Amino acid sequence: MHPVLAMAIGIVVMMGLIIFTKMHAFPSLIISAILIGILALPFGDVKTLTQVVSTVTGGFGGTMTSIGVVIGFGCIMGIFLEKSGAAKRMALTILKLVGVKNCDVVLGLTGFVVSIPVFCDSGFVILSSLAKEFSRLTKKSMVGLGGILGMGLYITHFMVPPTPGPLAVVGTFQQNGMAIDLGLYILAGLAISVPLFIFSVFLFRYFGKKYPDLVVPYEIDRSKYTAAQLEVLDKIDAKAKAGEELVNDDFAALLAAEKLPSAGLSFATLLIPIVLIFANTLVGQIGSLSGTVFANVVSFLGQPVIALFISLCMGAFWLCKEYDKKTCVDLMNAACKDAGPIVFITAAGGALGAVVKATGAAGIMADWIVATGIPGIIVPIIIGVIMRFPQGSGTTAMITGSAIIAPMMGQLGINPYLAALALCLTTMCPSYLNDSYFHVVTNFSGMDIKTSLKTWSIGSILVPAFGSIILIILSLFIH
C-alpha cells in the first residue's frame, strides 16, 4: 500500500479509537504506528513484521530516553509550586506591580507565569478563588476575569517548555535531526506568547462587557474563610460601603492572611531552571569558552534534567519545608501519577513518528505540498487544528502532530522554530465540549455552557488565528 494512504488510515484509526472506544491515547498511538507499518510494508530497510515492531519500540525508547525524566521532574516541580502557595504569592507580587485597577491583567499574568510548570487545569482551580474575590469586590464580570486568567494559563501551557506538550514537540524535532535548542525555543515561545496574551486581554475585556451581569454575589459563605481572612474581608466591605476606592494593599492583606512562601523563593523555583537552560544555550554560542571548565559546568547545570532537578529540590526542601516527609512524598507520588500518562503518550508519539519517517510518507506528502506552491508554514498550522479538533487533548495533538510534521521538515523549507511554534499554537484550537479545560474554565468561572461556547471557545479560535498571522509574516523573513 502507498505509504501516504497507510498513514492516513492509521491516523483515522487512532482518532476513532480515542474518540469512540474505551481505548486510551497511549495504546491507540501504538496500534496506529504498528498498523501504518504493516500496511506500508515493505519500506526502507523494513521488510518483515518483526522489523515493524522493532521500529515502533525503537521510536518509543528513543523518545522516552530524551524527555521521560524531564517530564517527571517538571510535574513534581509544578505540584510543589501549586500546593505550597507559591502561585498565590506570585499573584500578590504581580498585583503590587500592576495595580488593582488592572486586576484582570494581574490574574492573566499570574496564569501566564504559573502555567509554565503547572498544568493549566490545576492553575485555574488554584487562582479561580482569587478571580472570584476580584469579581465580587470590583463588580467585574467573571466572563472577562475568568477568560483572561484562563487564556494566560492556556497560552504558556501550549507555547513554553518545560510544559510537557511543547517539550515533546522539541524532542521530536530534535530526534528527526532538526537543530532546535531548548533554551532558544523557550525564548521564542515566550516572545510569541506576549502578543497573544495582550490580544486575549482586549478580547476578553470585550466579552466581559457583553456579559456584565456575570458577577460573583457580594454576600459570602463565611464558613469557607479563615478568621484572619474574614477580618480582612470585613475591612474591605466597610470601605466599599463607605464609597472608598479599593487599593492594592486591600487585596494584598487578603492574600497575606494565608501562610505563603516568599516572593523571591516562589519566583526563583520557577525561573532558575529556565535561566540555567538558557545559560547553557548562551555559553554554547561563545566559541572562546568552548572546552573551558566554566563552559562544562554551565553545560552540566543547563541540561534540562539537572536544571529541573535543582528546582525540584528547592521545592521539596524550601517551598514545602513545613510539610512532613509523608506529605512531601505523597505530593511527589501524585505528580508521578500525573506524569505517567503524559510520558507514555509522548513516547508513543515518538513511535508513531519513527514509523512515519521510516515509511517515507511524510516526505512524500511534503513533496506534494511543495509542488502545489502552498507556503510551508501553513502545513503545521493546519495539522495542529486537525489533530486537536476531534479528540480534545492538546498534548496528544502536539505529540501526534509533531510525529507527522518533523519528518517533513527537510522538504517544507521552513524554519524549524517557526514550524514547532505553529504546531503548538494551533493545537489550542478549539477548546470546546470535548476538552476538560473547557469545563474547568466554564464551571469555576460560573458560566453556563452556552455562554462559554460564545466566549471562551471563540477566544480559543481567535487567539491562535491571531498568532498564526504573526508566524506567517515572520516566515517571510526567517528561514
Cell 494559563 -> residue: 153
pLDDT in tens, the chain (479 residues): 889 899 999 999 998 998 899 899 899 999 999 999 999 998 877 889 999 999 999 999 988 887 889 889 988 988 998 888 888 888 888 888 888 789 899 999 999 999 988 888 888 988 888 898 888 878 899 999 999 999 999 999 999 998 889 999 999 999 888 989 999 999 999 999 999 999 999 999 999 999 998 888 767 666 766 777 778 778 877 877 777 777 777 766 666 667 788 989 999 998 999 999 989 988 988 888 888 999 999 999 999 999 999 999 999 999 998 899 999 999 999 999 988 998 999 899 889 988 988 888 878 888 888 788 889 999 999 999 999 988 788 999 999 999 999 999 988 889 999 999 999 999 999 999 888 899 999 999 999 999 999 999 999 999 999 999 999 999 999 98
Residue with C-alpha cell 528527526?
176
Beta carbons of 441 and 448 less than 8 angstroms apart: no
Q: What does the angle CA 387 – CA 20 – CA 33 come to, to the nearest 5 degrees?
A: 55
Record the pTM. Answer: 0.86
Q: Rounded to whole angstroms, how far apart are CA atoms 22 and 401? A: 22
- Residue 218: phi and psi, rounded to 5, are -70, -35
Residues 208, 214: Cα–Cα separation, whole Å: 8
In sequence order, the β-bridge partners of residue 267 are none
